[in-house]
Amino acid sequence: MSGGPNERDVVVTGIGLVSCVGEGVEAHLAALAGLTEPGPWETERFAPYPVRPGPALDLSTQIPKKSDQRQMEPWQRLGVYAAGAALDSAGIKDDAELKARTHVIVAAGGGERDYDVDGQVLTAMRTHAAPDVLLNERLMSDVRPTLFLAQLSNLLAGNIAIVHGVTGASRTFMGEEQAGVDAIRIAHARIASGQNDVFLVGGSFNAERADSILAYAMGRLAYSGAPAAVADRTAPGFVLGSGGAFLVLEARAHARARGARVFAEIAAVGSARTGRGAGALAETLGRLFDETGTGADARIVSGALGLPSRDAEERSVLAARAPGAAPIVTQDLVGHLMEAHAPAGVALAAGLIATGEAREAAVTSIGHQRGAGLVRLRAG
């Protein structure tokens, strides 16, 4: 363990970001600045629920083997691609020794289903005398055996190990938005404590799948109106987005020793369980501002959802604690990335700091059902 007061500072040395906007943090900052066209909306395929579709990617640049591409479903391809881009960005893609001791925390849900098989089985079950027996027979004969490996939550991390050779060890956190902020929190703590030097942290989400939308549509939480920014919507709900966001986090001393570019320092990560009662979110967020030492000048990258009560409580805290420039709303840029949303917000904040747009930034993470987080970054 290295000495010195700031040797164990945690710095961002790599960013991989893909979304409807395109690829790379620079493209996202350009879109934020209005220099390029905003990312597209997909309003037909899952009507009445619009989503922000993933970008067209040349997968071979990050996932060279076709056999690897075939073994994954889209959520994994987005994630493995973004993870590879983060390793490139950090300049460690070809450093096998370093990748073998780089640890991984992925924030993930589960993977895709075979939608055709599901539909056929549901259709057949409706009229079958013994529907559960039919289910056994059809699943045994119709499901692709390796589909399971595209569904298991920890197999995004598994594919990152296989495709990129990042084999320190991986842990996968689940639990919607909170998984993303807790992944960053635990990686930060492990680096700061001297346990590990380098982490790859992030997640991915595929919005272009009916079963994902279904879960939130059941809760009447998926937005079903015309394309509009969160603040301009006349109906409640979030717009899911397809994307992936990964960060390379590193101890400052380790980054310095290998001459790495530092985008920003992650100064503090706060996360908390929070109830859904009136005022609970505002109380929690206010406390996280205190705990993370976030100042009034921090540029805010907001995890605002499009759920009026949650948004109003967040707005009230931001108005009081960071009254400067209007918050950047990550969902307006890329859609709501669920587990990957906080990592995407941190990627944007680190980009703003690296380009001199901000000296300090704070990323809010608002759980649509539970939990809140705040990540404070500063010029590194």
Partner 1 sequence: MAEPRFTDRFGRPLVAVTGMGVITSLGEGKAANWAALTAGRSGIHRITRFPVEGLRTTIAGTVDFEGAEDFCAPKLSERLATTAATEAVEQSGLPRGDFPGALFVAVPPVEIEWPQRRALAEASGQAGDVTYADLLKATETGAFADWHDLFLFGTVADHLAERFGTRGSPISLSTACSSGATAIQLGVEAIRRGEAPAALCIGTDGSVHAEALIRFSLLSALSTQNAVPEEAARPFSKNRDGFVMGEGAAALVLESAEHAHARGAEILGYVIGAGEKGDGFHRTRSSPDGAPIVAAIAAALEDAGIGPEAIDYVNAHGTGTPENDKMEAMGLMAVIGERMRSVPISSNKSMIGHTLTAAGAVEAVVSLMTIREGVIPPTINYRVPDPAIPLDVVPNVAREAKVGCVLSNSFGFGGQNTCLVLSADPA
**Looking only at residues 169 through 208 of this chain, which bind partner 1 when binding is defined by CB under 8 A?**
169-176, 178-179, 181-182, 185-186, 189-190, 193, 195
Of these, 24, 55, 109, 180, which contacts partner 1 (CB under 8 A)? 109
Site for partner 1 in 114-143 (CB under 8 A): 115, 118-120, 122-123, 125-126, 130-133, 135-137, 139-140, 143
Of these, 16, 74, 79, 158, which contacts partner 1 (CB under 8 A)? 158
d(CA 71, CA 144): 11
Site for partner 1 in 236-265 (CB under 8 A): none
Q: How far is the CB of 181 from partner 1 (least distance, A)?
A: 8
Q: How far is the CB of 178 from partner 1 (least distance, A)?
A: 6
Which of 28/376 has CB closer to partner 1?
A: 376
Which of 290/297 has CB closer to partner 1?
A: 290
Of these, 10, 18, 161, 298, which contacts partner 1 (CB under 8 A)? 161
Which of 139/231 has CB closer to partner 1?
A: 139
For CA atoms 27, 31, 34, 37, the dihedral sign is positive
Q: Please, is 235 exposed, middle or buried when counting C-beta atoms within 10 Å of its C-beta (0-12, 13-18, 19+)?
A: exposed
Which of 30/213 has CB closer to partner 1?
A: 213
State the binding string over 18-57 for partner 1 (x if CB under 8 A, else -). ----------------------------x--x--------
Torsion of CA 356, 357, 361, 365, to 10 degrees: -130
d(CA 154, CA 29): 30
Instruction: Please give the helix or strand (H or E) that residue 355 lies within, else none.
Output: none
Answer left, alpha or beta for residue 118, where phi above 0 means left and psi between -120 and 50 means alpha: alpha
Q: How far is the CB of 25 from partner 1 (least distance, A)?
A: 26
Q: How far is the CB of 151 from partner 1 (least distance, A)?
A: 7
For the record, the structure tokens of 52 come out as 């922000």
* Binding residue count for partner 1, defined by CB under 8 A: 81
Whole-angstrom Cα Rg for the chain: 21
Exposure string of 327-352, with b = 16+ CB inside 10 Å and e = fewer, is: bbbbbbbbbbbbbbbbbbbbbbbbbb
Q: How far is the CB of 229 from partner 1 (least distance, A)?
A: 24
Residue that the structure tokens 């057949």 belong to = 124
Q: How far is the CB of 71 from partner 1 (least distance, A)?
A: 7
Q: How far is the CB of 134 from partner 1 (least distance, A)?
A: 8
Site for partner 1 in 61-90 (CB under 8 A): 71
Of these, 273, 297, 308, 324, which contacts partner 1 (CB under 8 A)? 273
d(CA 269, CA 53): 30
Site for partner 1 in 216-235 (CB under 8 A): 216-221
Q: How far is the CB of 82 from partner 1 (least distance, A)?
A: 18
User: Is position 97 an interface residue for partner 1 (rule: CB under 8 A)?
Assistant: no
Residue that the structure tokens 């479903």 belong to = 73
Which of 111/351 has CB closer to partner 1?
A: 111
Could you tell me which residues come within 8 angstroms of residue 299 by beta carbon, excluding any fewer than 6 positions away? 324, 325, 328, 349, 352, 357, 358, 360, 361, 362
CA angle 178, 179, 181 (to 5 degrees): 65
Residue type, 78: L
Which of 165/227 has CB closer to partner 1?
A: 165
Q: Please, is 261 exposed, middle or buried when counting C-beta atoms within 10 Å of its C-beta (0-12, 13-18, 19+)?
A: middle
Q: How far is the CB of 267 from partner 1 (least distance, A)?
A: 17
Which of 13/170 has CB closer to partner 1?
A: 170
d(CA 347, CA 259): 20
Site for partner 1 in 361-380 (CB under 8 A): 367, 369-371, 373
Q: How far is the CB of 85 from partner 1 (least distance, A)?
A: 18
